[in-house]
Chains A and B, each alone.
Chain A
Amino acid sequence: MYDFDWSSIPGALPFLWEGMKISLEITVSAVIFGVVWGTLLAMMRLAPVKPLAWFAAGYVNLFRSIPLVMVLLWFFLIVPQLLRSFFNLDPNTDVRLTSAMIGFALFESAYYSEIIRAGIQSVPKGQVAAASALGMTYAQAMRLVVLPQAFRNMVPLLLTQAIVLFQDTSLVYMSALADFFGAAYKVGDRDGRLVELLLFAGAVYFFICFAASQLVRRYQKKLNAHVAH
């Protein structure tokens, strides 16, 4: 029988917390960038200007057809060199976090844009007609009437996607970037307690994601009750 020894965890907590901060940084930046760029992609895809729609459709289909781990790998291989040559950085500057953020953001925007597109399409066409009839331009109708309603309907889906994204950040371990998972792995490897550390990391991921998804569910119920009255 395997002998569990959890003693290396308490001392490693500060290091693990540093890793958690990296995981959260990547998640938050990818969500913010993903929603902004995803909204633009969704609007392009629905725009009457054909080339814009083609570009957005191509982008979304490309990123949705490639495994995330490969996208990240390419970004680790390419982006650091690009950044270094663009900004004349010292070759020793660590740009792994930046490239991870960019990779995730670009990848996630493809998923966010599909959620947002569905959200925009869920707003009845009559709303745009009413806004136009009041003299609003297409941009005003989008900004003041369609998007606020679309986002309110989409919040649960966007948050659920953010939870999945938070779990996926563990993929950066292959660049030896110490996110939460990477940090746990390093500590376990160092102390010969990999099993304990990975069980602990799994429990933390589970706790955070499960709690977050329960909150999303609660919010969704509240939203449905609000719409029903």
Chain B
Amino acid sequence: MISIDNVSKHYGSFQVLTDCTTQVKKGEVIVVCGPSGSGKSTLIKCVNGLEPFQSGAITVDGISVGDPKTNLSKLRSRVGMVFQHFELFPHMSITDNLSIAQEKVLGRSKDEARAKGLKLLERVGLKAHAEKFPGQLSGGQQQRVAIARALCMDPICMLFDEPTSALDPEMINEVLDVMVELAQEGMTMMCVTHEMGFARKVANRVIFMDKGLIVEDDSKDAFFNNPRSERAQQFLAKILQH
């Protein structure tokens, strides 16, 4: 489904990604973790072309992301993405947030888009808030709306960029619950997150990054039980201590 092949990226002389290679198969859930500044968010943003990269290749469902001939907007409409800061559109109601791209990008009718939006809003448990504005919802609720908004486009896979990092602790679980459910339904997912509980529960593989390199790319059991690199051991010791 997603294939990342020797991808490198630099800002000026600063190397952000170095020869990153990995694959995500249909139905797989991959967790990407690592210390801050390790390039994990950059890597996931390269997958739908939000960040350009200088060398290597990424293909999503057989379509090359880096190819200048690729219609990136069309590709992105098929790849869902959830951001750290939700990025709901604050000037639109929740319903409009859910329908706008369905109407303007997929060309669905107003009624069809609205019905689809409400269905997914119900799924994330927020149907009662349909007519509110994003500013009236809590962070956890906003992030669930953001997931519903991405799902409205019937994506072939979902990218999560630290979806719980900006949330208060008591709101993290409501978002993770939605993600776990999605994973169990067979959605192909690539998640940048530090939620190791989530990784243990649903991940097929864990990718560990440091300084722009993919240091480990292993099954979740192998990663948690005996990480090969010293850097990953230190990282796990620190975040699993408490």
Give A contacts to B, CB under 8 Å. Answer: 124, 126-127, 129-137, 140, 144-145, 148-149, 152, 227, 229
B125 nearest CB across to chain A (Å): 22
Question: In the complex the two chains form, is B101's CB within 8 Å of A136's CB?
Answer: yes
The CA-CA distance from A158 to B79 in the complex, in Å, is 39
* Partner of B100 from A124, A133, A144, A152 at Cβ < 8 Å: A144
A135 cross-chain contacts in B, Cβ below 8 A: 73-74, 76-78, 101, 105-106, 153
Whether the Cβ atoms of B104 and A136 lie closer than 8 Å is yes
Residues of B105-141 whose CB lies within 8 A of A? 105-106, 135-136
Residues in B neighbouring A144, C-beta threshold 8 A? 100, 104
B89 contacts A by Cβ under 8 Å = yes
Task: Tell me how far the C-beta of B165 lies from the nearest C-beta in chain A, rounded to whole angstroms.
Answer: 13
Q: Which residues of B contact A136 (CB under 8 A)?
A: 73, 101, 104-105
Residues from chain A with a CB closer than 8 A to the CB of B211 are none
Contacts A126-B87, A148-B91, A229-B136 known; A132 to B104 CB distance under 8 Å?
no
Contact of A133 among B76, B85, B88, B90 (CB under 8 A): B76
Cβ–Cβ < 8 Å partners of B150 in chain A? 133-134
- Rounded to whole Å, the gap between the CB of B180 and the closest CB of chain A is 22
The complex places the Cα of A132 from the Cα of B89 at a distance, in Å, of 12
- Per CB-CB distance, the 9 closest pairs between chain A and chain B, nearest first, are A135-B77, A130-B87, A134-B101, A133-B81, A135-B105, A126-B87, A135-B76, A137-B73, A148-B91
CB distance from A150 to the nearest CB of B (A): 10
Known: A135-B77, A136-B101, A144-B104. A130 touches B135 (CB 8 A): no
Provide the bound-state CA to CA distance between A126 and B50, in Å: 11
What are 8 inter-chain pairs, A to B, with CB distance below 8 A? A129-B45, A129-B87, A134-B76, A134-B149, A135-B73, A135-B74, A149-B89, A229-B136
| Nearest CB of A to B230, in Å | 35
Q: Which residue of A lies closest to B136 (CB)?
A: A229
Q: Are B89 and A145 in contact (CB under 8 A)?
A: yes
Q: A129-B50, A130-B83, A134-B153 are in contact. List 7 more A-B contacts (CB 8 A).
A: A129-B83, A135-B74, A135-B106, A136-B105, A140-B105, A145-B89, A229-B135
Q: How far is the CA of A165 from the CA of B83 in the complex (A)?
A: 42
Partner of A140, one of B81, B83, B104: B104
Is the CB of B48 closer than 8 A to any CB of chain A?
yes
Query: B153 contacts which chain A residues (CB < 8 A)?
Result: 134-135
* Whole-angstrom distance between the Cβ of B190 and the nearest chain A Cβ: 13
A133: B residues at CB distance < 8 A: 48, 50, 76, 79-81, 83, 150
A9 CB to closest chain B CB (Å) equals 47
CA distance A133 to B88 in the complex (A): 12
Residues of A near B80 (CB, < 8 A) are 133
Closest to B77 in A: A135
Chain B: which residue is nearest A137 at the CB level? Answer: B73
The answer to whether B91 and A132 have CB atoms under 8 Å apart is: no
Residues of B within 8 A of A124 (CB): 85, 87
Q: Is there an interface contact between B91 and A149, defined as CB atoms closer than 8 Å?
A: yes
By a CB distance below 8 angstroms, the chain B residues around A126 are 83, 85, 87
Interface residue from B45, B81, B91, B104 paired with A152 (Cβ < 8 Å)? B91
- Could you mark each residue 50-84 of chain B with 1 if its beta carbon is under 8 Å from any beta carbon of chain A, else 0? 10000000000000000000000110111111010
